[in-house]
Structure 1
Amino acid sequence: MSFWKTLFGGKAASAEPAGDKVLGEESYKGFVIKAIEMKAGSELQLAGTIEKEIGGEHKTYRFVRADRMTSRDDLIALALSKGRQIIDEQGERIFN
Structure 2
Amino acid sequence: MGLGALLKKILGAGDSGQGEKAESLGEPIEYKGYEIFLQPRSLGGQFGVGGLIRKTVDGEVREHVFIRADQAPSRDLCNEITLQKARNAIDTLGDSLFPKS
TM value normalised by structure 2: 0.72
Structure 2 CA distance for aligned equivalents of residues 35 and 41 of structure 1: 19
Amino acid at match of 2:47: L
Structure with the larger strand share: 1
Task: Give the counterpart of 2:59 among 47, 56, 59.
Answer: 56
Q: Which has the higher contact order (CA 8 A, sep 6+)?
A: 1
**RMSD (CA atoms):** 2.7
Q: Which runs of 5+ in 1 are unaligned?
A: none
Structure with the larger helix share: 2
The match for 1:90 is 93
Structure 2 CA distance for aligned equivalents of residues 39 and 45 of structure 1: 6
Task: Give the counterpart of 2:33 among 30, 33, 36.
Answer: 30
Q: 2:13 matched to 1:16?
A: yes
Rg comparison, structure with higher value: 2
Task: Give the counterpart of 1:47 among 43, 50, 70.
Answer: 50
